[in-house]
Amino acid sequence: TILDEIRPTSGSASILGMDSHQKSVEIRKHIGYVPGDLAMYPNLTGRDTLTYFANLRGGVDWSYVDSLADRLDADLEKKVGDLSSGNRQKVGLIQAFMNRPQVLIMDEPSSGLDPLVQREFQRMMREVAAEGRTVFLSSHTLSEVQRVANRVGIIRHGKLIAVETVADLRSKAIRTVNIFFDGPVDGREFEGLPGVREVTTQNEHVTLSFDGQMETLLKVVTERFHVLDITTQEADLEEIFLTYYRDEEVNV
């Protein structure tokens, strides 16, 4: 729908202030796209493939293209059909970046890339975002999303159920709080405190599952007890993502 390849039954979408259907041709001039199922002519070399796309776009800066190839360690002289899936993916990424688009739309873009190339690709995405351009990324690799995204949309059963900044998502997630005291404490002291989900006590060590405000917890705990140390373990994006599905299972 965003690229006008599928027509919606209702609703609308806009990119760069333009309707995605009515202005689709104009919009595509400003977009770099990597589909989830990347198809290219197998008998063309990587460079021939990029030349084809460059001609469609009215030309590109080939020194920039070569710098992208160097960064991704891409071999542009081999035929695409002779490349591994990961090396074909590199060609696809270069064609998306090479005209310096205002908007990048990518579906599972790091598929097949080795870890070092993934890291360089993530650096490229952060550079694009730092320039004020937009990266629209669809990925099941949540560790990658966590490293590069500043806002996340979560889709469940085809419906968008949450759109949050990564920071806001993490602030609402259940974290693990470990508190160490100068002597044994009664875990019941912590039950009923705002945000406390679960309490585990082992002598002078208390572990809390907590989704409230840390400032409030710290104030209450330090007023009541002599605290030696407090550590927190933040939930990562994968754990946060899974809570949306666990909540659904509980409600069924």
Please name the amino acid found at residue 179.
Answer: I
Q: Is-contact 14 27, C-beta < 8 A?
A: no
Q: What is the pLDDT of residue 132?
A: 95
**Across 74-88, 111-125, 130-144, 225-239, least confident range:** 225-239
Of residues 65, 50, 70, 147, the one with CA closest to residue 100: 65
| Confidence class for position 232, pLDDT limits 50, 70, 90 | confident
pLDDT at 33 over 50: yes
Beta bridge partners of 196: 210
CA distances from residue 195 to 121, 134, 169, 215, 225 in whole angstroms, order as listed: 38, 36, 16, 11, 19
Diameter of the chain measured on Cα atoms: 74
Q: What is the pLDDT of residue 1?
A: 64
User: Which residues does 191 contact at the CB level (< 8 Å), separation at least 6?
Assistant: 199
Averaged pLDDT for residues 172-182: 87
- Digit-coded pLDDT (tens) for 150-174: 998 888 888 888 888 887 877 767 7
Q: Which domains does the chain have, with CATH numbers?
A: 14-149 (3.40.50.300), 174-233 (3.30.70)
pLDDT at 234 over 80: no
- In 148-203, beta strands by DSSP E: 151-156, 159-165, 175-181, 196-202
Q: What is the pLDDT of residue 105?
A: 95
Averaged pLDDT for residues 75-94: 96
Report the Cα–Cα distance between both ends of the chain, in Å, rounded. Answer: 31
Averaged pLDDT for residues 193-201: 90
- Digit-coded pLDDT (tens) for 97-134: 999 999 999 999 999 999 999 999 999 999 999 999 99
pLDDT at 251 over 60: no
Q: Is-contact 93 86, C-beta < 8 A?
A: no
Mean pLDDT of the chain: 88
Tokens of 199: 């309490």
Of residues 34, 117, 137, the one with CA closest to residue 68: 117
Q: What is the pLDDT of residue 250?
A: 41
Of residues 45, 7, 4, the one with CA closest to residue 23: 4
**Across 43-57, 173-187, 231-245, least confident range:** 231-245
The pTM for the full model equals 0.73
**Across 28-32, 64-68, 246-250, least confident range:** 246-250
pLDDT at 252 over 70: no
Count of C-beta atoms within a 10 Å radius of residue 218:
14
